[in-house]
Structure 1
Amino acid sequence: MGQLPVIAVVGATAAGKSDLAVELALEFGGEVVNTDSMQLYRGMDIGTAKLSLSERRGVPHHLLDIWPVTRTASVAEYQGLARPLIEEIRGRGRVPILTGGSGLYVRAAIDDLEFPGTDPGIRARLEEELSATGPAPLYERLRSLDPAAAENILPSNGRRIVRALEVIELSGRPFSATMPSFDAIYDSVQIGVEVPRPVLDERIELRVGRMWEAGLVDEVRALAAEGLAEGRTASRALGYAQVLRFLDGEWTEEQAQAETVRATRRFARRQESWFRRDPRVVWLPFDAPDLIARALALVGG
């Protein structure tokens, strides 16, 4: 049998991706590569539903706990770590199994996706223009330079308009040339774990309740001492942002928990629509009695 494809297990938060990834790894002699941007952070365990060592069942897990909470996440930096790791795992005759709900991180790992550099001077000039005039004139400029990119960016999204114009000026190429396409650089199989929305909503509420019982507030308190609030990415993580507001006295603990449920449900819908746009994802029902067998069959086991 030839080399097995790279496997990605995708879907919304609380769908059961991590457990399925471990099952597949045990079956195929695989190793799990994390594609959840928040599980990259050290100490963010309860709120990100990081598998415990016993739940990993002896399967090696990579790219967990690599950044301090003060570090700003960078998908380009993640790509630079994930690609060599995938090559190395494959070189040892093992199967990389990517799992996590950060759609762009999955794509950065396995797709032909480039992240152009940045130029502080160009960026500052465009940002100055944005604050002086608002996004409309910049959007018009983008539309004349790169209609395909403009079509994919909201006219009100000043940050993305500035980034697109910066890349065009810096590279002399259309920004749309660097936008994600569905072209994988590896032979790969993407398995989506499908959960009906009402069931997912219920699972999210239960999960958030369990996080609170497991000590999420204490986890956030400890991370706050390490500078969590200063971390541009980590401080916005689901659960962590809400608990920080409770610790600041802005919300009651009940409010923080209810807001975490609400924000997580909203995020799960966004995740689902992101993964649904990718025609390569094969969706399997989370509660299928033969879920593992069907997943194995997709991979070729």
Structure 2
Amino acid sequence: MSSPPNPPIVAVVGATASGKTGLSLGLAARLGGDVVNTDAMQVYRGMDIGTAKLAEADRDGVPHHLLDVLSVREPLTVAEFQGWARGAIVRLRAAGRVPVLVGGSALYTRAILDRFEFPGTDDAVRRRLEAELEEVGSAELHRRLREVDPEAADRILVENGRRIVRALEVVEITGRPFSASLPTLEYVDPASVQIGVDIDRPALDERIARRVESMFEQGFVAEVERLLDEGLAEGRTAVTAIGYREVVAHLRGELTLDEARERTVVATRRFARRQDSWFRKDPRVTWLRYDDPELVDRAVAVVSWSGGLPG
């Protein structure tokens, strides 16, 4: 299918391991599009096995963008990623290509699609909160966040110390809840379409368990060892990734290999539930069953019904 004169922006959303990657490839092939990664951790070079990053040979000839951009030492912010992704979308559409966004970072997807202005930052406040995170841990800072901004606390994992620090920083410097600065349900470009991959929890839990088992069989521990040599532990963002932090703990002697594997499964399932909850609250998402044999056809039809394709 050739691209329309004014290509839509298509986002494939849903829980990790639900089948978003396969659908994104099918859609890009059918619509004349490129895949734009919206997974915060696939931005990092070398974080391949643990992020389920598609090898180039498995991309079916579909061009991919925003993969392997940073070293594991470099931090990443939502604001920075928003700029990169929106720039890629402008370039693709100017070339008549359909951007197909896909990835597991729900906030990043919303930041790209929706009106989202970022509050400022204060280096002194940030450094103080980061020092407190190091001293008392993320659970204590998460408890403090719940006291001042329960909605933000509900949206941020207890383990995600970096985002907890950012939320507390925004509350302190603006006097407003961090949740008030989150994206509104208003597309920057009305030619945006979100397609959700709908999967029942038992099937998803099983797929996550199989994925994690496969990761460890493929050499995940060796990948983490290599990345530690490249500065993973010194980075502020990459080291927080699910699976990587558990394997780092194993390599430090804090967990057995079996414990690291099991904790990765548990953390991934918890993360998947939060992803699903986030997207279910968005009434603009059209949900399609993960196991529908006509999934790609139905997704193309959704884009067409949304006015993104010529009749």
Normalised by the length of structure 2, the TM-score is 0.84
Q: Which amino acid aligns with 1:167?
A: T
Matched residue, 2:260: 256
Matched residue, 1:152: 151
Pair 1:49-2:49 in alignment: no
Pair 1:80-2:83 in alignment: yes
Moved over 3 A (4+): 121-131, 134-140, 150-159, 173-178
* CA distance in structure 2 between the partners assigned to 1:252 and 1:263 by the alignment: 16
Which structure 2 residues correspond to residues 273-292 of structure 1 after superposition, within 5 A? 273-292=277-296
* CA distance in structure 1 between the partners assigned to 2:25 and 2:292 by the alignment: 17
SS in 1 for 2:72: coil
- Contact kept in structure 1, 2:50 and 2:215, CA below 8 Å: yes
Q: Which amino acid aligns with 2:222?
A: D
Q: Which amino acid aligns with 2:67?
A: L
- Contact kept in structure 1, 2:25 and 2:59, CA below 8 Å: yes
RMSD (CA atoms): 2.8
Q: Which amino acid aligns with 1:22?
A: L
Q: Which runs of 5+ in 2 are unaligned?
A: 136-140, 159-163
* CA distance in structure 1 between the partners assigned to 2:257 and 2:131 by the alignment: 40
Matched residue, 2:70: 67
- Contact kept in structure 2, 1:9 and 1:192, CA below 8 Å: yes
Q: CA deviation at 1:108?
A: 1.2
* CA distance in structure 2 between the partners assigned to 1:123 and 1:178 by the alignment: 17
Matched residue, 2:101: 98
Q: Which amino acid aligns with 1:166?
A: I
Matched residue, 2:241: 237
* CA distance in structure 2 between the partners assigned to 1:54 and 1:180 by the alignment: 35
Pair 1:120-2:127 in alignment: no
Pair 1:217-2:216 in alignment: no
- Contact kept in structure 1, 2:246 and 2:263, CA below 8 Å: yes
Picking from 196, 202, 208, the partner of 1:204 is 208
Q: Which amino acid aligns with 2:243?
A: G
Residues matched between the structures, number: 287
- Contact kept in structure 2, 1:139 and 1:161, CA below 8 Å: no
Q: 175-184 vs 34-43, which deviates more?
A: 175-184
Q: Which amino acid aligns with 2:266?
A: R
Identity %: 54
Q: CA deviation at 1:137?
A: 10
Q: CA deviation at 1:152?
A: 3.2
SS in 2 for 1:38: coil
Q: Deviations over 1:81-138 (max 9, x none)?
A: 111110110000110000001011001111110112212246568999999xx99999
